[in-house]
Amino acid sequence: MRIRYITKFRFKNLFQMFANSRLPELTTDTKMAGKTILISGATSGIGLAVAKRFAGENANLILIGRNTQKLEDLSSQLIEDFKIRCNYFVADYSNLEQVRKVAYEIAELPEEIDVVINNAGIFFTKKNTTESGLEMLFCVNHLSHFLMTYTLLPKLKAQGHGRVIFVNSEGHRFGMAVAEDMNFEHRRYTGFKGYASAKSAQLLTCWEFARRLEGFGVTVNAMHPGALRTNIGMTNGKFYNWYSEHILWKLLKDVNVGSDALHYLAAAPELASVTGKFFNRTRQEIPAAHALDMRLGKKIWDVSMKFAGLEETNDSTD
């Protein structure tokens, strides 16, 4: 199966990735005042930076995180500093039932959601599993976002506008999703393989979400936020933390680079009808061949539906 993708490999796409990483960010003067932005993983890293960025433009926020106190503190701070509306929901993205509950609650909110930023993410160097037995990166980095977005489909269709953005990664290029073994029960596991597998699965379902929302005024895109200084992976032990602090962090960019890119993708008028695309920060890019395989994508969609405990409805298939 992998040989098929090797034959489709294009060095020019890889060179374009490196070139895009050196280009300056595209920006927009369009402000998001009065818009409502949903952000997962909102209390640290990119999520925190983008929450502050949008709050500073007087956008209203819906925040999702797993730490109640951090969410409460952040929400209070943003309301006090910027006089915006800020609501929050508590859900650990390693627990699908918590995500399901919050997704239904958000779907029932009276206000429209202008932008959905699926951002929450983790990285482990060794295999970890959730309480329900799912490989952790598959669950947090893909499956919970899939569940959230799928649950919001009827709301997004009914309101007739909106942008959905998946915070993905160039890391998808370095490993593929295997529909028959997303839990790595029959494959040798490394953290990079697990991460690439989850991000590849996310991209494959992103295209299907975009297809299902065609004609409803809602766009769906994925983006690599850049190599940024965040706390992702900081529970991987002393050696990894030392490596991150003394070597890796010196090569990384400030987290605001990612929030600036997300602002552009969320606000730029020229992207109002652009959907089903992958961006390296703000530059459109061709993903790896395995992340464009529609046959594999159909399998990953079906597997994601199964693991997320979802059933197709008329609202989600039109």
Q: Is residue 196 part of a domain?
A: yes
Here the CATH number for the domain that contains residue 201 is 3.40.50.720
pLDDT of residue 316: 61
Query: If you average pLDDT over residues 84-105, what whole number do you get?
Result: 98
Question: 217 is in which domain, residue-wise?
Answer: 2-308
Collapsing DSSP states into helix, strand and coil, what is residue 61? Answer: strand
pLDDT band at 255 (very low <50, low <70, confident <90, very high): low
Other beta carbons less than 10 A from residue 33's beta carbon: 11
Domain annotation covers residue 314:
no
Phi and psi of 137, rounded to 5°? -70, -35
Mean local confidence (pLDDT), 220-227: 87
- Asked whether residue 115 is assigned to any structural domain, the reply reads yes
Residues whose CB falls within 8 Å of the CB of residue 45, separated by 6 or more in sequence, listed in order: 228, 230, 231, 232, 255
Per-residue pLDDT, 233: 46
Q: Is the pLDDT of residue 132 over 80?
A: yes
Rounded to an integer, what is the distance from CA 145 to the centroid of its chain?
Answer: 7
In a domain, 313, yes or no: no
Please indicate, yes or no, if residue 317 is contained in any of the structural domains. no
Model confidence pLDDT, tens digit, residues 266-286: 999 999 999 999 999 999 999
- Residue 148's pLDDT band (cuts 50, 70, 90): very high
Bridge partners for 253 per DSSP: 228
pLDDT of residue 248: 40
User: Which residue has better confidence, 296 or 9?
Assistant: 296
The catalytic residue among 88, 150, 195, 264 is 195
State how many domains the chain has. Answer: 1
- Does the structure show a pLDDT above 70 at 229? no
Residues counted in the chain = 318
In a domain, 249, yes or no: yes
316 domain-assigned: no
**pLDDT tens profile 133-145:** 999 999 999 999 9
Condensed to tens digits (0 to 9), the pLDDT of residues 10-41 reads 556 666 766 677 778 899 999 999 999 999 99
**Which residues, including other chains, have CB under 8 Å from residue 209's CB and lie 6 or more apart?**
149, 150, 153, 164, 220
Residue 318 lies in a domain: no
Respond yes or no: is residue 195 known to be catalytic.
Answer: yes
